[in-house]
Structure 1
Amino acid sequence: MCGRYAQSRNHRQLQLAFGLPEEALTEEPPDPRAWPPLDELPADYNIAPGRPVYAVLGPPPRGEGAAPGPCSLHTLRWGLVPSWAKERSIGYRMINARAETVADKPAFRAAYRRRRCLLPADAYYEWQLVGPDGRPQPSTSPATDPEHKKRKSKAAKRPFAIRYRDGAPLAMAGIFERWRDPEADESDPAAWLWSCAVVTTQAAPGLDHIHERMPVVVPEQDWRVWLDPASGAADLSHTLASTPVSELAVDEVSPEVNSVKNNGPGLLEPVAGEEPDTLF
């Protein structure tokens, strides 16, 4: 799964890294009913659900027969709120979408078909459990492990940061949705919420000793496929299985990351005396 990640690049750096056209931040944001805004976000080394995050979106919708527009950078709130939801708090329960069911689950299937995005990250964090006997064991998911809560309550948590060895930004597969607050006036910009979820999959060998799940990381050659609304089921399934695991490094980091109150680049520093663990 993915419950916390780091992202320190500003919007200019992300536009360069993802080959996006330069867009100026303006005091007059675009109509939030039509397309998400682009806000300046500070570096955040401990992003938690509910916070605004940068997202790379595919071509915006245009009239029939018109050429597709360019990909672009926007800000979304982490925790997907389906368009039919009665309240926005449901997003805190929908921070991840399982790759195995994202095409069929009612909360995610419309976004998966038409609204896919890339969520840039310096690294994502994952926690390994350490039992009372001192033995490490992989964390599990409530969806697959009936003993999840019991196992978690009896264990200590050991945090790891997973990232590209060369420092390039990760591009986590995401989906996004637009929701209107039924209690707010349509003309109120705050009535419109654009939110997202990270798509996760079964952890690959080399990562499954930490957690049984992992976010899907889209390799650069598949960015366009993932973002293109016209991509078919076969291409999307291939992308969901294409995380470049051999290019990732795993570092044990300080337990300070366990608290969302802590922030700063030091959270990504390997624990003293630990060497980065390359997977292959």
Structure 2
Amino acid sequence: MLHTRTRTAVLVFLLPPLMLYLVAVVAPIVASLVLSFFDWDGITSMRFAGLGNYAHMLAGDDIFWRAVVNSLVYLAINLLFQLGLALLLANLLTYLRRGRELVKTLYLLPAVVSTVAIAFLFQRIYSVEPRGLINQMLVSAGLDGLATAWLSNVGTALAAVSVPEAWRFTGLYMIILYAAMLAIPREIEEAARMDGASEWQIFRRIRFPYIRPVWITTAIMAATYSLRGFDIPYLLTNGGPGQATELLTTYMYKTAFTSTNFGYASAIAVFIVIECVVAVGLILLSLRRRAGAVI
């Protein structure tokens, strides 16, 4: 009887969030999948196109493939900063004796600041006239030749729009990894130090293996958020100059709301979902293989 009541209670509490997930997440994905097989401008009647949108996307759209490459570069930069820097900061934070709460708060602030505010902030940082923070520092250091229009230069624009997104969530992932490190039994680390282990060996052999499940979750969060990144690149460059910073998300938005080709935009949206699923699978596969190799 108690077991039945427990199952009933679980179902009662799970049903509302499950229904919300189905309505807010699954239903739009299914609707996009259905719409991707049609040509529709949002006003006239839908015309069935079969796999025509996908054929054009994969074989006849150079901008799409440029956006795919840009999205992968954007993903790589974000993962490098967010996961690498967050792990480093979380590890260093465990050695901090005073001001730990202040440091955590300062690093977490960007995650709660408005996206528009972050975009305006980095527009000023990258500014040429009036001279922004980066160019001012380069000039002050006597490196005038390196000063450039970071958001207008084809060679630097993609990295320039990637950095704000990386900076925005590094503190959040740092807090998550730091919380995982706090759960590590200190007796194990103290025993390793008594045996002569260095701090690097403790991190590599004790800390990182212990927080690996949290690390995998954080990697999945960072990868999926980066592949769906839209607001900051769109606000900073709108995909320009040319298609230098055109991501799949910005291209999908323009296709839907500028070109009013909702069927083709839905096909791009389906591709983004598949891309996220593949990225998650690759992360899980690579980290599990690495864990097996370590063992």
Which band: TM-score by shorter chain? under 0.3
TM-score (norm 2): 0.22
Structure number with the bigger relative contact order (C-alpha 8 A, sep ≥ 6) is: 2
TM-score for the superposition, normalised by structure 1 = 0.23
Quick check: which one's helix share is greater? 2
Compare CA radii of gyration and give the structure with the larger one.
2
The structure carrying a bigger strand percent of its residues is 1
